[in-house]
Amino acid sequence: MKIGRAITDDGPKTVILHESLFYDLSEITGVDLESAGPSFYYLIQKNIDKIRDFFAQGKQESLQDIIPKSYLIPTPLVNQIRDFYAFEEHVRNARARRGSEVPKEWYEFPVYYYSGNSSLYPSDYNIQKPEFTSELDFEIELAAIIGKEGRNISKSEAWDHIFGFVLMNDWSARDQQRKEMTIGLGPSKSKDFATSFGRYLVTADEVATVLDGNGKLKSEVWVNINGSEFMRNNLSTMHWSFSDLISWASMDVTLRPGDIIMSGTVGNGCILEHGPDKTGWLKPGDSVRFGSDFFGELLSNIV
């Protein structure tokens, strides 16, 4: 299922996308999902058969479809955000720009940093270019949203704790990031000014249909800048699987509903890897569009 949240003429609503049309998911389930809080994920899972039967029986014809006035972040609850570094191609390309190689420790465990959750933006939202940077960049990533609490989750059980997946943009100020990385605590101000979410999330049961035998996702993603294709790559190139990421993140730590597990940048999925000579760094007036036939779109305009 493809689930989002939108501003409508009647206020914010949780919506479901079916055959290119949005419908009010609260009306289908009989549950006020916008007021559900941490129970949001449980209530949808509890009603999943009811939702499927509703569309299988063609009952959506009795409802008025919804045209969003604007989008909201598709998950109503965001706790901690862990942003991993799971694509070897990105690690190799980014470090080569700094004259270094992939450290051997990267192959020992999936590393991550904690991203801020106070500057989160939905798709189709204008992103203010920070005054402190002249090297604004994007990073195309996929994120898993935790829907079921767990601690010391095994790799074999990790998928049971995922509610859904969403495209995300980890905006980056590269000049500030270079300075921060020399200190040794990882990125901070260079990352916390903005993180963007796609228009909707895709539930884990549907995403499981595009897994390969190694638990990697077989789905192409792409980036357009100002209407021109910038990159295209496949999520199957991810070195560490989401099962790896969730198992490692939950070691002696409790993951809770609303925790976000970001994949890290898809290989070649940022300006840094290509070099600014290809497009220049982002500037006001630029439009960045992420896309996937499976995970939808994420559009942002720089102002």
Q: What is the pLDDT of residues 185-212, one digit of tens each?
A: 889 999 999 999 999 999 999 999 998 8
d(CA 71, CA 287): 17
**CB environment 156-195: b (16+ within 10 A), e (fewer):** eebbebbbbbbbbbbbbbbebbeebeeeeeebeebbbbbb
Q: What percent of the chain clears pLDDT 70, i.e. is strictly above it?
A: 100
Going along the chain from its start, the domains and CATH numbers come out as 2-72 (no CATH), 81-302 (3.90.850.10)
Residue 178 pLDDT grade (very low, low, confident, very high; cuts 50, 70, 90): very high
- pLDDT, residue 184, reads 87
Q: In this structure, what are the phi and psi dihedrals at residue 269, rounded to the nearest 5 degrees? A: -95, 30
pLDDT mean across residues, the chain = 95
Under 8 Å between Cβ of 6 and 21: no
51 sits in which H/E element: helix 48-56
- What SS3 class is residue 228? strand
Query: 24-77: per-residue pLDDT in tens?
Result: 999 999 999 999 988 999 999 999 999 999 999 999 999 999 999 999 999 999
Mean pLDDT of 206-226: 91
pLDDT at 216: 85
Q: Do residues 6 and 12 make contact, with C-beta atoms less than 8 angstroms apart?
A: yes
pLDDT for 266 equals: 97
% of the chain exceeding 90 in pLDDT: 91
